[in-house]
Amino acid sequence: MNCRFCKTPLTHQIINLGQTPLANGYLHTLADAKNEQRYPLQLYRCGECQLVQLEYDVTPEQIFNQHYAFLSSSSATWQSHCAAYAAEMQQRLGAKQVNLIVEVGANDGTLLGKLRPLSTHLLGIDPASAATQLATAKNIPVITDFFTTGLAKSMRAEGKLADVIVANNVLAHVPKINDFVEGLSMLLQPEGIITVEFPYLPNIIEQTQFDTIYHEHYFYFSVSVLQRVFARYGLAIYDLQPLEIHGGSLRIFVKHYSNASLALQPIVDAYIQKEQKAGLHTIAYYQALQDRAQQIKHAFTTWLQEVLEQGKKVMAYGAAAKGNTFLNYCGVNATQIHAIADVTPEKQGKFLPGSHIPIVSPEAIAQAKPDYLLILAWNYKKEINPKLAYTGAWGCQLVYFIPQFEVYQASGLYVP
Ligand code: DWN
């Protein structure tokens, strides 16, 4: 595979997570397992432009289709994150409404719905039809398709240039990054703003968040690399904000270089200097990730075997895509974890990809009374721990393995 940005052959493998099914490819029935495809999940760094990316391309059409299961509305944390984004943009845009806000990767319209007061027109673009149907039901105009330069050109020809383009948690999901960023540049008004959010690469490496690696995440970004990608299309990162969401993300703000109001904030250069000092441009920086992931795998599988031999019952909670990377890398299945609870109605009754663990509603927890709940949506700990406090009534313990092994008495008390 060649680098998707600069076309240099990829030679530096960072971590190999084996052959895994699509992390959001939930099975409707166990019979579907016979058709389940597995693909190489290997992370590489381009030795030329430093872009960190998957070595193998599962096509977006195979991922973002009518079966794509992620929904933005699935957690209160994400909903409040979207509300905070709307408040931030309100402050940056001022009281006057803009004409058009476009969200690429609009999913079910959760975020666009919160931006209604900021713009006279909204438009969502997303290829996942199950999600865009929910956006349409909220009276949000959507185009159920991939965002490309072709779509940007046709919108430009119709005079539909965007004052704001929201590309939060989508740039990392697009293998044709050059076409995508060129399209953003084409669609953006001369004075417009683009925002992009993504899990920040140093957090993934330094906190061993290897479960964030899955086939729909083609890229893992640093500020230094993204600045170069945007510069190729006359765009510049001029401001950024660190975010807690998804284990530690960044929100970057981008304008045309030619934009007279462009003012580079010191924080951008500070991050670039910090990345240089940490050595993100060196092989050594990434070297220990595979070992640390292996250590977490060993700790988890040893713990699981011990508690099962003691006759304990283990359930999981939070059927997140990242949880499937974790379970499949650890080789765990439904003979060990007999069910996973999840609040998302569209996931209940289905089965996890690879492990084939059945997904049940949270109500099933009180019936099963597990001794342990393995929390796979660890990035939502603050929301989940209080929600599961009731399981302390029968002594249940909440177990986390990423970013490190932690056990909580379900009443929220940390068990050292
Ligand atoms: O890039 C992406 C990020 C933004 O979100 C997508 N590729 C997919 C997704 O990542 P994820 O799959 O790791 O996170 P989710 O999809 O938000 O997974 C969380 C799961 O946990 C959902 O299925 C909902 C569930 N959940 C729950 O059952 N109880 C979540 C919370 C907070 C809860 O209290």
> Candidates 85, 210, 243, 380: which one to mutate for ligand 1, based on the most atoms within 8 Å of Cβ?
380
The model scores a pTM over 0.75: yes
Q: From the alpha carbon of 216, which atom of ligand 1 is closest?
A: 7
Q: From the alpha carbon of 387, which atom of ligand 1 is closest?
A: 34
> Candidates 70, 166, 317, 328: which one to mutate for ligand 1, based on the most atoms within 8 Å of Cβ?
70
Q: From the alpha carbon of 23, which atom of ligand 1 is closest?
A: 12
Say how far apart CA 310 and CA 308 lie, in whole Å.
Answer: 5
Burial class (CB in 10 A: 0-12, 13-18, 19+), 158: exposed
Q: Which residues are near ligand 1 (CB < 6 Å)? A: 70, 74-75, 77, 169, 216, 246, 318-322, 342-344, 347, 377, 380, 383-384, 387
Please tell me the distance between residue 4's alpha carbon and the centre of ligand 1 in angstroms.
27
Please tell me the distance between residue 343's alpha carbon and the centre of ligand 1 in angstroms.
10
> Candidates 63, 244, 343: which one to mutate for ligand 1, based on the most atoms within 8 Å of Cβ?
343
> Do 183 and 148 contact (CB within 8 A), yes or no?
yes
Q: From the alpha carbon of 323, which atom of ligand 1 is closest?
A: 13
Sequential DSSP letters for 118-151:
GEEEEEEE-S-HHHHHHHHHTT--EE-S---HHH
CB-facing half-sphere around the CA of 398: CA atoms within 13 A: 29
Taking CA atoms only, the protein residue closest to ligand 1 atom 5 is: 70
Taking CA atoms only, the protein residue closest to ligand 1 atom 3 is: 169
> Do 215 and 41 contact (CB within 8 A), yes or no?
yes
> Do 318 and 377 contact (CB within 8 A), yes or no?
yes
Q: What tens-digit pLDDT sequence spans the chain (416 residues)?
A: 999 999 999 999 999 999 999 999 999 999 999 999 999 999 999 999 999 999 999 988 888 877 777 777 777 888 899 999 999 999 999 989 999 999 999 999 999 999 999 999 999 999 989 889 999 999 999 999 999 999 999 999 999 999 999 999 999 999 999 999 999 999 999 999 999 999 999 999 999 999 999 999 999 999 999 999 999 999 999 999 999 998 999 999 999 999 988 899 999 999 999 999 999 999 999 999 999 999 999 999 999 999 999 999 999 999 999 999 999 999 999 999 999 999 999 899 999 999 999 999 999 999 999 999 999 999 999 999 999 999 999 999 999 999 888 898 887 666 66
Burial class (CB in 10 A: 0-12, 13-18, 19+), 156: middle
Please tell me the distance between residue 337's alpha carbon and the centre of ligand 1 in angstroms.
19
